[in-house]
Amino acid sequence: WRPKNFPPGPIILPILGNILELSLENPLKDFERLRKIHGNVYSLYIGSKPAVVINGYKAMKEALMSNEFAGRPQDLFVNDTTQRKGVILADYGTSWKEHRRFALMTLRNFGLGKDSMEERIHGEIQYVIKTLEKSIGSTLSPQVMFHNASSNIICQVLFGTRYEYDDMFIKTIVQCFTENAKIANGPWAMLYDSFPLIRNLPLPFMKAFKNVETCQKIAKRLLAEHKSTRVPGEPRDFVDCYFDEMDKRGEDSESSFSEGQLSMYALDLHFAGTDTTSNTLLTGFLYLMGHPHIQERCQQEIDTVLEGKEKATFNDRNNMPYMQAVIHEVQRVANTVPLSVPHCTTKDTELMGYSIPRGTLIIPNLTSLLNEEGQWKFPNEFNPENFLNDQGEFVKPEAFMPFSTGPRMCLGEGLARMELFLIMVTLLRKFKFTWPEEAGEPDYTPVYGVTLTPKPYRMKIEARATE
Ligand code: HEM
């Protein structure tokens, strides 16, 4: 039975709870169906575990802005795979707070908001351009290229180095993480969460544990290398900064900073920064190929604003309202992290008049905002007008929250936005991307996971005439 004044929801079955209501392959449509029946705040039982699903701008804002919704559940599949370390899944408390603050500060010190991060991103774009140039006049599958490019940008911040696109390090890590992003929201993880008794059985979810172990080994090797070559007080990258911070804290046994934390923390940031950005880029180029007139309008604006300039800077966005609108529209339709990351209540609390006890699993359905009726001029089509006013100026509706909001909001937003802008503008300036005729019609239906991924596709590359 639901606790008193708990949000409503479908009838709860013994043992199963409500999992029969959800497609284990892709529950997004079910979440929407249940919203229509039970309203914007409703509850579901995953096995015997109660969960509250939050939908729509109003309820989402009220919940996510509050510290009382800023916890993370600690008893899910994803917690077991990541050994309860790192920042993304850390519960609300000192360790999370300190690690979050440290990440924001270190990202800033390593050049976000200064030119050096732009330089690094442009440096990586040169490799993307080289890859694309080899395919001029033919077609190319961009998946691995965009994954590797996003991975390298964050690797340079974390480890001070980039990797060749065929390097084993990058191949292994990117593969493990893309696999885990699918397993973690997949049917086996749902069964793992619903039925604790099956957790030690040799079922397909075991692959995710293996993948994390593989990545941990690689990360530990990198940390050991850093330790032996670092000069204290002269950090080369994020990992060095972390060691400096550990030195500063000395033998303080209360300190939440430790080498054990660091390897998972670095992997956390690497994963968060890779799968998200690259899938957004993949969606962007897919839609721009399917809407050639929009691609051309971007190119006109880029040519005009950058005329005579060697390369784009992040500040150029202020003179490119159309490009800005397109990138935001890409993020809106990409819906890259459709259910955000699970939250958890830190206290007995209330939402939209309902009572929610401490420790309740909260599922922020970000999907419900990005196409919410009443919030968008064209909720159900790809149309940059969603972000333009009558004067053609860029405007950002409040319901645009692909990075979530509140104390748990994505801490990589600044970096992600810089990457999306510089990569898309630079590539569109140099190349024309067309959907290969022989591939039939583009299929925009994404593959479900923690992140939504476009189905694999190929793009035809042509060089544009340069000034
Ligand atoms: C288009 C790209 C990206 C999107 C759409 C995205 C989206 C999100 C979302 C929805 C969350 C969950 C927030 C919540 O729980 O309320 C999140 C968390 C997070 N993101 Fe991103 N993200 C992106 C890029 C990045 C990048 C480049 C980094 C790397 C620095 C990053 C690092 C993180 C971290 C560390 C968290 C956990 C924050 C916490 O729990 O306190 N993200 N992101």
Q: Are 371 and 55 in contact (CB under 8 A)?
A: no
Ligand 1 atom with the smallest distance to the CA of 157 is 30
> Within 10 Å of residue 451's Cβ, how many Cβ atoms?
27
- Report which of 234, 231, 237, 194 is spatially closest to residue 49, judged by C-alpha positions: 194
* Fold type of domain 19-445+455-463: Cytochrome p450 (1.10.630)
Ligand 1 atom with the smallest distance to the CA of 419 is 27
Pocket-testing residue among 410, 421, 452, ligand 1, by greatest number of atoms within 8 A of Cβ: 410
Quote ipTM for the complex: 0.99
In this structure, what is the dihedral angle of CA atoms 193, 194, 197, 199, given to the nearest 10 degrees?
-20
User: What spacing in Å lies between the alpha carbon of 432 and ligand 1's midpoint?
Assistant: 30
Ligand 1 atom with the smallest distance to the CA of 340 is 10
User: What spacing in Å lies between the alpha carbon of 403 and ligand 1's midpoint?
Assistant: 6
Largest CA distance in the chain: 69
Distance separating alpha carbons of residues 255 and 457, to the nearest angstrom = 47
Query: Could you tell me how many residues make up the chain?
Result: 467
User: What spacing in Å lies between the alpha carbon of 410 and ligand 1's midpoint?
Assistant: 3
Pocket-testing residue among 66, 84, 107, 276, ligand 1, by greatest number of atoms within 8 A of Cβ: 276
In this structure, what is the dihedral angle of CA atoms 79, 85, 87, 92, given to the nearest 10 degrees?
70
CB of 276 closer than 6 A to ligand 1? yes
Distance separating alpha carbons of residues 341 and 347, to the nearest angstrom = 19
From residue 274, how far is each of 17, 89, 145, 154, 244 by CA, in Å?
Answer: 35, 17, 12, 7, 26
* Protein residue closest via CA to atom 6 of ligand 1: 403
CB of 337 closer than 6 A to ligand 1? yes
Distance separating alpha carbons of residues 97 and 93, to the nearest angstrom = 6
- List per-residue pLDDT tens for the chain, 467 residues long: 799 999 999 999 998 899 899 988 899 999 999 999 999 999 999 888 899 999 999 999 999 999 999 999 988 888 888 877 888 999 999 999 999 999 999 988 876 656 688 999 999 999 999 999 999 999 999 999 999 999 999 999 999 888 888 788 878 888 888 888 888 877 888 888 888 888 888 888 898 999 989 988 988 999 999 999 999 999 989 999 999 999 998 877 678 899 888 988 998 899 899 989 999 999 999 999 999 999 999 999 999 999 999 999 999 999 999 999 999 999 999 999 999 999 999 999 999 999 999 999 999 999 999 999 999 999 999 999 999 999 999 999 999 999 999 999 999 999 999 999 999 999 999 999 999 999 999 999 999 888 999 999 999 999 997 65
Please give the model's pTM, rounded to 2 decimal places: 0.95
- Report which of 226, 271, 256, 246 is spatially closest to residue 99, judged by C-alpha positions: 256
What would the two tokens of residue 219 be? 């990360």
* DSSP code at position 313: -
* Protein residue closest via CA to atom 21 of ligand 1: 410
Helix (H) or strand (E) holding 356: strand 354-356
CB of 289 closer than 6 A to ligand 1? no
What percent of the chain is helix, strand and coil (3-state, nearest 5)? 50, 10, 40
Binding residues for heme: 410
From residue 387, how far is each of 343, 378, 384 by CA, in Å?
Answer: 29, 10, 6
Distance separating alpha carbons of residues 253 and 264, to the nearest angstrom = 20
User: What residues does each domain of the chain span?
Assistant: 19-445+455-463
What would the two tokens of residue 329 be? 């529209």
* Protein residue closest via CA to atom 40 of ligand 1: 88
